[in-house]
Structures are given as structure tokens and as C-alpha cells.
Amino acid sequence: MSAGPELDAGAVLEWLEGFHRASATLDTDRWLDEFMTDDVEMQYANSPVIKGSDVRQMFKSVLGQLGMMSHEIRYFDYVAPRIYQAATIRYLVKGDSPDTDEITIPGFAVFFVRKDDAGRVKCYRAETFLDPSAVFQRISEKASQS
């Protein structure tokens, strides 16, 4: 098993901040192309592990229903090849008011990383531990109002 790329705390923080800035654009293709491998595996909450194009489709479906998503990194650690990170995540479903409808949840993720042929650090497996039920409930409510 590869130990993973040698990264110091500054490089890990820079990668995490870039990862979250890209996800905040809600542009699935840009985010995944820049930060994840094509064959990425994703364990999201209690859902089954999905891979590759299924990860892309899942994020396109979910992010397409959001008006905002942001992550505040609470803390992180790196034990090659894994980045461990706790975050506070803020969501806004499309059409909702940022003053009254923002949903905030805690989350914890493990990102398995390696360098690609161009030397860029990319995630090849992600395990995300959170309870997104409030977000999906709000998405469902909005859909039933349409």
C-alpha cells in the first residue's frame, strides 16, 4: 500500500480550502475534475459506496438543488494517504432565504489522496460522515410545493 504523497500541514490546509472553494461553486464538473480522480469511490452518510460516474451524477443531482453550500474547516490531520477533517457545513436550498432558511450541520470526512501524473493531489476515495436529512427534507418540501 502506498503511503501517499508527502504533504505538510500547510499543503493539506491549502488543498482542503481549494477543495471547499470549488465545491462552493456548485459546479460539479469543475470540482470533481480538479480534486477527484475519475474512478473515485464515495461513501456518503449511510448510503452504499458509489464509484466514478455515479459519484458525478449524485453530486450533479444534489448540488443542482442548492443555492449555497459552504464548509468551515474545524480541524484536520493528515496521516498519509488520508486527510481527516471535521467541518461545519452550511446549506441553502434554491429559492430559500439566507436570513431564515440556512441549514447548518456538522460533518466529518476522510479523504484518501494521491498525486496524479501531473503532480496534482487528488482524492481517490472519500468517506463522509454526517446526517444530511434536514437538507434532503427541505429539498423534498420544496419539490412538493412546485
Residue 2 lies in a domain: no
Residue 1 lies in a domain: no
Residue 22 lies in a domain: yes
Domain count, the chain: 1
CB atoms near residue 54 (< 10 Å) = 14
Domain with 112, as residue range(s), is: 9-145
Residue 51 lies in a domain: yes
Backbone phi, psi, residue 69, to 5°: -150, 125
Residue 54 lies in a domain: yes
Helix (H, G, I), strand (E, B) or coil at 79: strand
Residue 73 lies in a domain: yes
Q: What's the CATH number where 138 sits? A: 3.10.450.50
- pLDDT tens-place string over residues 22-54: 999 999 999 999 999 999 999 999 999 999 999
Residue 123 lies in a domain: yes
Q: Mean pLDDT over all residues of the chain?
A: 95
Q: How far apart are CA 18 and CA 5, in angstroms?
A: 17
Banded pLDDT at 1 (limits 50, 70, 90): very low
- Sole residue written with cell 456538522: 106
Residue 4 lies in a domain: no
Higher per-residue confidence, 81 vs 1: 81
